[in-house]
Structure 1
Amino acid sequence: MNGLMRSVGYRDRTAALLTQHGKEQVIGPVLEAALGCRVQRVSGYDTDRLGTFTREIPRAGSQIEAARRKARIGMTLSGLSLGLASEGSFGLEPMIGMFPWNVECLIWIDDDRVLEIVGWAQGEAHFGQVLTGDWAKASTFTRRWRFPSHQMVIRPDAANDPRIRKGLAAWAELESAFVSARRESATGRVLLETDVRAHANPTRQHVIRAAAENLAARLQSACPACGAPGFWLVDRAPGLRCSDCGAPTRETLAEILGCVKCPQRISRPCTDRSEADPSRCDSCNP
């Protein structure tokens, strides 16, 4: 966003961050360095009540709705008019669907300016599962998934068994939990999976940090008309011409930047290429 960066008025302000999984250690340094603000960790509420990755409690609503709910709770508990919260989701990589994938959103709510800005990041996730009654196979699996730097979760039999042991971070406790779960199991098998809570999964922490960097960039991009932060990409205009026949294609010709507070929009031509590949042209490939 060259030419749009300028002060947005958050220096020496304090933003509430509701978390019980150490996210302030990842998010705080990024936003504090970029904005001159202070990120205050807020406790006093069990965020697992809003949903768990280990499936005991399903998340209500969408990813961004969950983040917004957490931010609002933190603002209420702290009495601050600035709040932020993050929420992650896990699935398969969207292009070919072969690798576990992590999408993180980080929401910033400013009640003084009545605005909401969201940063996003995504990347390959460090998440795997195995169902086995064999300790040798279990230990091989955990080494593959970088245990003990990435913590483990164990439960007997199946993915929804409520007899769960989380936050396993040492070999002795992992083996003890495995033996106990196998004893409880009706099938003699134990489900092991990587713990994807933020404090337990360094790979996820990297994606959360990237979301914080994206949010910081958005907050530093001010609207040229009203000065509100968050002036960012809101749409793409197709029409890049085919290098072979010259017809307009569905490939992006320009990016549309927009304000979260006023109607201001700016069209910025894409400069990474001047023509579209014929393989992306409907005229050349009807």
Structure 2
Amino acid sequence: MFEERKLLIATKHQKELVIAPLFWEEFRNYYFTSDAFDTDSLGTFSGEIDRKEDALSTLREKCIIANKATNCDLVVASEGSFGAHPTLFFVQANEEFMMLKDFKNDIEIVAREISLETNFNGKLITNEADLLEFAEKVNFPSHAIILKPEEKNFSKIFKGINTKDVLLKSYNELKQEFNSVYAETDMRAMFNPTRMKVIEQVTHKLIEKIKSLCPRCSFPGFDIVNAMPGLPCENCLLPTRSTLSYLYQCKKCCYEKELHYPRGIKFEDPTYCDNCNP
């Protein structure tokens, strides 16, 4: 269904460097990118344009815009978010969604990856020593930095800074004009190798989902729609909150299949039992 078709990778941040080789290896897709649309119009990491929708809705809109601008009926795109981990609240995380949208066959397949590997950071800078300390902390110069007067002040902004000379020059220019400087990591993929690795990881996940076919109708994207708790405790045998099974569902014929013991164990450690360890 997908082999040897033209594939539009909807990005202006060089994500094709990690996405294209994986799709070529698996499906022999001839990829291209396009300047006929601007994905930044849906939101920027530096804050000048706020993202109005959630990540998944924004990603879907990105694919639709790309399709309308180029008439390519097979589009892949990704959308990242940065901030507190959904369960480890004091830890920064990078959440990446990636979508393959096949307009010809009306197929939408989505993969998600959450990684603790991120240098996402921002700080109000008071002097050059403070700036260089921040730069070292965020893996500069392999990872670029953005400078602006304040966190929410976009009247003058320097992006993609990846040399010490430019970093200090930009800092001094802002300091002289505004008397304050805010530094933050540039999270655009081509300026952030750590994020690029997460995009590569979610590409692998997406490809595996594409290859997962419905046992009944062979439609691609046969995937988990629900995780069922209830794995019994090894000690008291009462159900725990740990996953007992995954429910898979076909997006086309709605066939469902339940897979028990997805972690390969039939009992949970009593440490995670609310009865044994309340």
Q: 2:137 maps to what in 1?
A: 144
1:282/1:152 CA distance change after superposition, 3 Å: closer
Q: Any conservation in 1 of the 2:96–2:199 contact (CA below 8 Å)?
A: yes
- For 1:189, which of 180, 197, 210 is the aligned residue? 180
The number of residues matched between the two structures is 275
Alpha-carbon offset, residue 133 of structure 1: 2.6
Q: 1:64 maps to what in 2?
A: 56
SS at structure 2 position matched to 1:230: coil
Structure 1 residue 239 corresponds to structure 2 residue 226: no
Q: 1:122 maps to what in 2?
A: 114
Moved more, 141-150 or 272-281: 272-281
SS at structure 2 position matched to 1:42: coil
- Matched letter for residue 237 of structure 1: M
Q: Provide the C-alpha distance between the structure 1 equivalents of 2:267 and 2:256, rounded to a whole number of angstroms.
A: 24
- Matched letter for residue 65 of structure 2: I
Where structure 2 has 5 or more consecutive residues not aligned to the other structure, the ranges are: none
Q: Provide the C-alpha distance between the structure 2 equivalents of 1:235 and 1:283, rounded to a whole number of angstroms.
A: 24
- Matched letter for residue 185 of structure 2: T
Moved more, 89-98 or 176-185: 89-98
How is 1:4-23 mapped onto 2 (pairs within 5 angstroms)? 9-23=1-15
Q: Any conservation in 2 of the 1:31–1:213 contact (CA below 8 Å)?
A: no
Q: Provide the C-alpha distance between the structure 1 equivalents of 2:142 and 2:66, rounded to a whole number of angstroms.
A: 29
**Which whole-Å deviations, capped at 9, do the CAs of 1:133-179 have from their partners, x for residues lacking one?**
311221121122111110110011x2011121111121111111000
Identity of aligned residues (%): 33
Alpha-carbon offset, residue 283 of structure 1: 4.2
Q: Provide the C-alpha distance between the structure 2 equivalents of 1:265 and 1:145, rounded to a whole number of angstroms.
A: 45
Q: 1:168 maps to what in 2?
A: 161
Q: Any conservation in 2 of the 1:88–1:103 contact (CA below 8 Å)?
A: yes
Which structure carries more relative contact order (alpha carbon 8 Å, separation 6+)? 1
Q: Provide the C-alpha distance between the structure 2 equivalents of 1:171 and 1:135, rounded to a whole number of angstroms.
A: 11
Q: 1:268 maps to what in 2?
A: 259
How is 1:1-286 mapped onto 2 (pairs within 5 angstroms)? 9-124=1-116, 125-156=118-149, 158-162=150-154, 163-185=156-178, 188-270=179-261, 272-284=264-276
SS at structure 2 position matched to 1:138: helix
- Matched letter for residue 112 of structure 1: K
**Which whole-Å deviations, capped at 9, do the CAs of 1:233-278 have from their partners, x for residues lacking one?**
1112222222222223332222112212111111111152111233
- Matched letter for residue 162 of structure 2: A
Q: Any conservation in 1 of the 2:36–2:70 contact (CA below 8 Å)?
A: no
Alpha-carbon offset, residue 72 of structure 1: 1.1
- Matched letter for residue 248 of structure 1: P
Alpha-carbon offset, residue 231 of structure 1: 0.9
Moved more, 159-168 or 250-259: 250-259
Provide TM-score, normalisation by structure 2: 0.93
Q: Any conservation in 2 of the 1:35–1:216 contact (CA below 8 Å)?
A: no
Q: Provide the C-alpha distance between the structure 1 equivalents of 2:254 and 2:198, rounded to a whole number of angstroms.
A: 32
CA RMSD in angstroms comes to: 1.6
Q: Provide the C-alpha distance between the structure 2 equivalents of 1:250 and 1:135, rounded to a whole number of angstroms.
A: 50
Q: Any conservation in 2 of the 1:106–1:211 contact (CA below 8 Å)?
A: yes
Q: Provide the C-alpha distance between the structure 2 equivalents of 1:77 and 1:181, rounded to a whole number of angstroms.
A: 38
Q: Any conservation in 2 of the 1:16–1:71 contact (CA below 8 Å)?
A: no
Alpha-carbon offset, residue 109 of structure 1: 0.7
Q: Provide the C-alpha distance between the structure 2 equivalents of 1:68 and 1:178, rounded to a whole number of angstroms.
A: 37
- Matched letter for residue 201 of structure 2: A
